[in-house]
Amino acid sequence: MSGDEIYGTSGFVHNNVTFNIPSQPYDQRFTYTDEYDVQPLEFIAVTGTEADEHNKSVSRRIRSQAMRNYVWRQNHPTTTDEMAAAAAIPLKVKSQQKYEGKFRIGSRPRKTKKSTKAKLAALESTTTSESEADQEAVRKALLRYSKWSIRQSLMPDKNLLMRKGANADPFNSFSFPLGPESEKFIFYCGLPNYALNPQLLLPDQKHYAVNCIALNLSSDCWYFVREELALFHAVLYLVSLDYNMKYGLIDSPGSLYHGREAFRLINEAIKNNTIRDTLIAAVSLIITRENLAGKFDLAKIHMEGLQRMVHQRGGIQNVESMHRHVVTWADLCYSNIWDCKPSFPLLPLKLIGSEAELPTGMKSMTLSPARTFGSGSLINSIFRSLRRLSIAFCPEYDARLDGTSMSNQIYSVEYDLLTLQNINLEALTPSEYLSSSSVLMNISAYIYLYLILRELPVRSKIFLTLFQRLRDSLEMQDGEWWNLTSERQRWLLWVVFMGYGAASEWDEKWWFVEKMEPLGAALTLWTKEELRSAFKGVIWHDTCDAFLEKLWKDMSHRERVELDGE
């Protein structure tokens, strides 16, 4: 056995794996004391059918070999490439016993913690005693490990832990199969609580591009990919679509790679009849991705498979809560596109903390939907929820809602929107459906939810479907009814603004610009600030500013074209 090779396992424990441990006792101190200044490392076989959590000696043996290898490299720097930079520095032979506490070997009593002043004094004395040559050698060694460190930092932690108390991975033997653009997609999506290495976050980077709360990506989803690698590829398959659409791409090589791997791993698990909650979550992310990409027929095929998988698990209530929101979001989005009822029943949800209320100054300027559409209209509760969510997503207000509660409220309001849509479809004829003011408000509320709160990419074909529905409904509306009062006109103006936002990356946006001009003139709204004030009276979020800026530029461009034509 070569002295530079390490043999052994990483301590990775799976439900179907046990460790074969030689019968030789491992509590003898000669295995890791200074008397044997050699590097004899042993091979540990991993076989069997079931892991035994009491076999702590395996973990002890792994740590001991890691310690012995570490000390060997410290005492023999010229034999390794990594420490060649420190070869010219005089070395003192270091004792293995010095590192027993670091590698949790031996049973030494814990020392009393030093005071803060004592630690600072010791640190200062150590720093001043180090020579410049030593510091330069350390810097060079860190540079040599920089590429390795970046790859490992893609893990949630330096030693990615398994669930249910499994051992750490001291040799980092489990690595993600990254493909082209994978690291770019990982940094692009990010996750709440910095599931990636927080040190890699740039100082001026306040947040990541993807709204993970709205997309129901769990803050700890990276921790589940070791038991379900398909989930890792499914997450990046979805995130890559968001990235590509924002930059005007279609399917980049990295996106296709993660999609292919996700399908392959899901099919392998299904062939083995292994239906896990993590696998169900991976399929749900695939459905969401196909819906956003406009591949509705493919999403329909996958949805049928998801329904069977959830049924095999005993219903949506038996899916773990951390994966349940991914499933319900895929279900609601699919049902909205196909105008059908949800596949899974409404889940009872609990809010952590009180609901976000409107600021006092905002209540006086907010229009009442009950005064316009009647006190019995279901649209009243929907807009009340959307307004509270909009406030909860604004950092300058005290929303008193955590990410889970906001995700629950998004789920509830979307379920209400879908329920109202199905009620109208069942009760009204096609002509009555398009001319109904309730239907018009339902579609515009859907656009606000997807465009502003969920922050779906504007180039998604979901918005193509939604703004076409909205345009058809606007053409069938009773103009006299909407123009009867200025309050109704302000509601209609906001509806047209939502249609413009959904169509802002399509040629159809000019239809909404043309529709908005007479409404603005009737309400004597001549400036951008006046338009913003009118929109805030209905419902508003800071994200709307970007669409208002684009609208104002398009309106100015249209006026210039008309003047040039005259």
Structure tokens at 64: 């001991």
Structure confidence by residue, pLDDT tens digits, 424-478: 999 999 999 999 999 999 999 999 999 998 888 899 999 999 999 999 999 999 9
Q: What is the pLDDT of residue 175?
A: 61
Structure tokens at 220: 């700890």
Which residue has tokens 């702590």? 56
Q: What is the pLDDT of residue 217?
A: 61
Q: What is the pLDDT of residue 112?
A: 53
* Helices within 449-508 (DSSP H only): 461-475, 479-482, 486-503
The answer to whether 189 and 212 are in contact (CB under 8 A) is: yes
Q: What is the pLDDT of residue 483?
A: 93
How far, in Å, CA of 22 to CA of 45, rounded? 9
Q: Which residue type occupies 386?
A: L
Given the DSSP bridges, would you call strands 18-19 and 46-47 parallel, antiparallel or unpaired? antiparallel
Q: What is the pLDDT of residue 251?
A: 84
Q: What is the pLDDT of residue 408?
A: 84
Q: What is the pLDDT of residue 515?
A: 95
Closest-CA residue to 154 (of 205, 194, 213, 202): 194
3-state helix, strand, coil in the chain (%, to 5): 55, 0, 40
Closest-CA residue to 288 (of 321, 256, 259): 259
Which residue has tokens 């095999």? 312
DSSP for 364-406, please give it: TTPPPHHHHH-TT-THHHHHHHHHHHHHHT-TTS-----HHHH
Q: Spell out the per-residue pLDDT of the chain, length 566, in tens.
A: 333 333 333 333 333 333 333 333 333 333 334 444 555 555 665 554 444 444 666 677 777 777 777 777 777 765 445 445 555 555 556 666 666 666 566 655 555 555 555 555 554 555 444 556 565 665 555 444 333 333 333 333 333 333 333 344 455 445 666 777 877 787 776 543 333 333 333 333 333 344 454 455 655 666 677 778 898 899 889 888 888 888 888 788 888 999 999 999 999 999 888 889 999 999 999 999 999 999 999 999 999 999 999 999 999 999 988 788 889 999 999 999 999 999 999 988 765 555 555 655 566 678 999 999 999 899 999 999 999 888 887 766 665 666 677 788 889 999 999 999 999 999 999 999 999 999 999 999 999 999 998 888 899 999 999 999 999 999 999 999 999 999 999 999 999 999 999 999 999 999 999 999 999 999 999 999 999 999 999 999 989 999 999 999 999 988 777 766 65
Q: What is the pLDDT of residue 56?
A: 65
Q: Which residue type occupies 9?
A: T
The answer to whether 89 and 98 are in contact (CB under 8 A) is: no
Instruction: Output the 3-class SS for 74-120.
Output: HHCHHHCCCCHHHCCCCCCCCCCHHHCCCCCCCCCCCCCCCCHHHHH
Q: Across-strand partners of 18?
A: 47
CA-to-CA dists, residue 93 to 37, 96, 282, angstroms: 10, 10, 52
Contacts 24+ apart (CB under 8 A), 523-532: 523/486, 523/489, 523/490, 523/493, 525/493, 528/552
How far, in Å, CA of 31 to CA of 377, rounded? 78
Q: What is the pLDDT of residue 535?
A: 95
pTM for the model: 0.67
Length of the chain in terms of residues written: 566
